[in-house]
Amino acid sequence: MSFFGAGAAGASTEPKDAELVDPPSDSISSLSFSSSPQSDYLAVGSWDNQVRIYEVNAQGQSQGKAAYAHDAPVLDVCWNKDGSKLFSGGVDKAAKMFDLGTGASQQVGVHDAPIKAVRWVEAPSGGILATGSWDKMVKFWDLRTPNPVASVNMADKVYSMDVVYPLMVVGTAERHIQIINLNNPTSIFKSMSSPLKWQTRVVSCFPSATGFAVGSVEGRVAIQYIEDKDSSSNFSFKCHRQDHNGSKDQQAVYAVNAITFHQGYGTFSTAGADGTINFWDKDSKTRLKTFPRNPGPITATAFSKTGGIFAYAISYDWSKGFSGMVPSLPNKVMLHSVKDEDIKKKPRK
Amino acid sequence: MTTRDPKSFEPPPYATLFPFWSRVMVVCQFYLRDQCRFGANCKNEHPDPKPAGFGSNPTWGASNTPAAPANVTFNVESIQRDFGPAEKPLWPISSYGPGKNEPTFLTGLDISPEEMRARAFEAMKEGKGAEYNQYEAAAIANANAQYTRVASDVKGAFEAAFQLSKSASGASAPAATAAPSTSAFGGGTTSGFGSSTFGQPSTSAFGQSAFGQPKPAFGASAF
């Protein structure tokens, strides 16, 4: 099977991906695997206001374990380091914490506008929840007091945020990208305009914390290193575009909705509004795998902690506005068993 | 929906006069034209008073400076391609910058799919689906008017974007853009992260060199 080139037809030789049981009843906004050593738990945030937690295994079997609700659609979910607590944020402007042991959920943070991103920060002095919002703020919560322990004014509405300690990258509206060194979390370490030309959709940090990937609405991803001395390694590439009429003079340029890194290899996935998913190696600048096109946009992706399972959500991403909300669109989370040869790095040419 | 003369959509003055980082709120484009239906409930800024000179500024096509494309990663052709059928994104409500790390040239346009959907969610709760549809259509039409302006005068757009790029790279270091932030601990640079914040982390992604003076622009490699 060819790993390079467009749309390798692997569907007939590969086992089909497994469907998560009892998925949400509306679009999936976010996926996050926990890192508990006992089992893989997958948290799913949805536009049906619910956060659902499933136990999944490498054979693709799944079972619902718990659920709790926000008062409005959920936009992001994340686990703490030992997988004992799950955090969520959404359109109700609230950040909630769910305790897996007690089954209780409580509000732990609030903003003046919907919370678009939540991330756990495992600082040496203790764990902190970071939240990013359309109110143009990033706030940090110690979960013990109702007020944030720190707040940062961002350049514009927070669209995406990712943390690999001590690196925090925030992508906002109007193409601002801001970097925070979590050793000094109340100041902006570096601000820049996006390396891409159109609206930022997603930012995702390298597991090495030496840089990050940016995805935009223009079917393009940029790889960006933090240190100026590595800036010659920065590059961008086109993806998630479909030819029109068989020619490259006209393209359907889809948004990149999700980018997630494989913790072990530092390779990464991209997923788009066109329903396709790719695995990439940024160091050899190669595409490692193309998934068969799915019957709907991909709205979220996640690797399990050991990288053996890749989860992806097929659901409507509002990329065509209200009129694109048709009943035939699925709301599914798929579990893909990751083959090592599909995700490991390729030698540089 | 009534048709509008695209020329009536004058770009907001700050698109050409101010560096991008002086904008701290998204100004409601509909309010500037006395067309905002959300009034006091609008989530965008209704500046009071309205920015002086709005509608009477020279159009950004009227620059007299001849194009001198050195030191920028874009040109007339690249801008033309960006708005053409091979490059223009399907998502119709997006800000735009002409090149890698270039300041945002078409400002005030960014609405993400999730923001639109959240707005629809709120509207549905109140039975105001029709108002949402009008809002969505107006936002798309407003953005399209901006894109049409660029596409119909690419040379003028290039000249204005070039001036913006020049003024952005000549301005103060990016670190100055951060508005003062608050910490519950007050006083100096302490943060909620405790004393370890001040220690040298063992494996820092940032290293010694990263705390030096940030350079104002990244390497100008071709996009």
Mean pLDDT, residues A239-259 taken together = 89
DSSP-derived letter for residue B89 is: B
Q: Give per-residue pLDDT as tens, B127-186.
A: 999 999 999 999 999 999 999 999 999 999 999 999 999 998 865 444 434 444 554 332
Q: Is A74 helix (H, G, I), strand (E, B) or coil?
A: strand
From A59-63, A190-194, B179-183, the region with the lowest mean pLDDT: B179-183
A192 with B118: Cβ contact below 8 A:
no
Is the pLDDT reported for residue A308 higher than 70? yes
Closest by Cβ to B20, choosing from A193, A226, A236: A193
A151 with B182: Cβ contact below 8 A:
yes
Q: Count of CB atoms within 10 A of residue B148's CB? A: 13
Is the pLDDT reported for residue A9 higher than 50? no
A217 Cβ under 8 Å from any chain B Cβ: yes
- Residues of chain A neighbouring B126 (CB-CB closer than 8 A): none
Closest by Cβ to A195, choosing from B82, B100, B115: B100
pLDDT at B58: 35
A73 Cβ under 8 Å from any chain B Cβ: yes
Closest by Cβ to A227, choosing from B100, B104, B210: B210
A298 Cβ under 8 Å from any chain B Cβ: no
Q: What is the residue-wise DSSP string for B17-81?
A: HS-GGG--S-B-HHHHTT--SSGGG-SSB--SSPPTTTTTSPPGGG--SPP--TT-S--HHHHHH
pLDDT at B202: 37
Rounded to a whole number of angstroms, the distance between the first and last alpha carbons of chain A is 20
Rounded Cα gap, residues B99 and A245, in angstroms = 28
Closest residue on chain A to B140 (Cα): A321
Reported confidence tier of residue B59, pLDDT bands at 50, 70, 90:
very low
A189 with B116: Cβ contact below 8 A:
no
Q: Give per-residue pLDDT as tens, A77-101.
A: 999 999 999 999 999 999 999 999 9
What's the whole-number average pLDDT of chain A? 93
B210 with A189: Cβ contact below 8 A:
yes
Q: Is pLDDT larger for residue A125 or for residue A3?
A: A125
DSSP-derived letter for residue B130 is: H
pLDDT at B176: 37
Closest by Cβ to B177, choosing from A142, A155, A251: A155
Mean pLDDT, residues A283-310 taken together = 96
Is the pLDDT reported for residue A267 higher than 60? yes
Reported confidence tier of residue B33, pLDDT bands at 50, 70, 90:
low
- Residues of chain B neighbouring A317 (CB-CB closer than 8 A): 113
Is the pLDDT reported for residue B23 higher than 50? no
B193 with A231: Cβ contact below 8 A:
no
B11 Cβ under 8 Å from any chain A Cβ: no
pLDDT at B192: 31
Is the pLDDT reported for residue A17 higher than 80? yes
Is the pLDDT reported for residue A45 higher than 60? yes
Q: Is pLDDT larger for residue A37 or for residue A150?
A: A150
pLDDT at A34: 95
Q: Give per-residue pLDDT as tens, B93-119.
A: 999 999 999 999 999 999 999 999 999
Q: Is A97 helix (H, G, I), strand (E, B) or coil?
A: strand
Domains and CATH numbers, chain A: 18-167+259-319+326-343 (2.130.10.10)
Rounded Cα gap, residues A237 and A218, in angstroms = 11
The most confident of A20-24, B10-14, B31-35, B50-54, by mean pLDDT: A20-24
Q: Which amino acid is at B170?
A: G
Give me the residues of A, 91-120, that contact B with CB < 8 A: 91, 113-114, 116
b (16+ CB within 10 A) / e for A68-94: bebebbbbbbbbbeebebbbbbbbbbb
- CA-wise closest residue to A31 among A75, A93, A68: A75
Reported confidence tier of residue B223, pLDDT bands at 50, 70, 90:
very low
Q: Which own/partner pairs from A99-106 qualify as long-range (CB within 8 Å, at least 24 positions apart)? A: A100/A41, A100/A53, A100/A66, A103/A66, A105/A68
pLDDT at B49: 59
pLDDT at B37: 67
- Residues of chain B neighbouring A113 (CB-CB closer than 8 A): 43
A227 Cβ under 8 Å from any chain B Cβ: yes
Is the pLDDT reported for residue B206 higher than 50? no
Reported confidence tier of residue B51, pLDDT bands at 50, 70, 90:
low
Is the pLDDT reported for residue B195 higher than 90? no
Q: At what angle do helices B154-169 and B129-152 cross, to 10 degrees?
A: 90
B140 Cβ under 8 Å from any chain A Cβ: yes
Mean pLDDT, residues B77-99 taken together = 96
Is the pLDDT reported for residue A275 higher than 90? yes
Is the pLDDT reported for residue A251 higher than 70? yes
Is the pLDDT reported for residue A332 higher than 60? yes
A238 Cβ under 8 Å from any chain B Cβ: no
> How many Å lie between the alpha carbon of B201 and the closest alpha carbon of chain A?
8
A247 Cβ under 8 Å from any chain B Cβ: no
The CA-atom distances, in angstroms, between B18 and each of A145, A234, A274, A338 are 40, 28, 36, 49
Rounded Cα gap, residues B204 and B223, in angstroms = 30
pLDDT at B61: 36
> How many Å lie between the alpha carbon of B71 and the closest alpha carbon of chain A?
16
pLDDT at B220: 29
- Residues of chain B neighbouring A134 (CB-CB closer than 8 A): 115
B86 with A229: Cβ contact below 8 A:
no
B184 with A29: Cβ contact below 8 A:
no
A144 Cβ under 8 Å from any chain B Cβ: no
> How many Å lie between the alpha carbon of B108 and the closest alpha carbon of chain A?
7
B205 with A175: Cβ contact below 8 A:
no
A226 with B113: Cβ contact below 8 A:
no
Q: Is pLDDT larger for residue B15 or for residue A145?
A: A145
> Domain locations in chain B?
21-50, 76-169
pLDDT at B171: 55
pLDDT at B72: 78
Mean pLDDT, residues B64-89 taken together = 80
Closest by Cβ to B178, choosing from A187, A194, A218: A187
Is the pLDDT reported for residue A104 higher than 80? yes
- Residues of chain B neighbouring A127 (CB-CB closer than 8 A): none
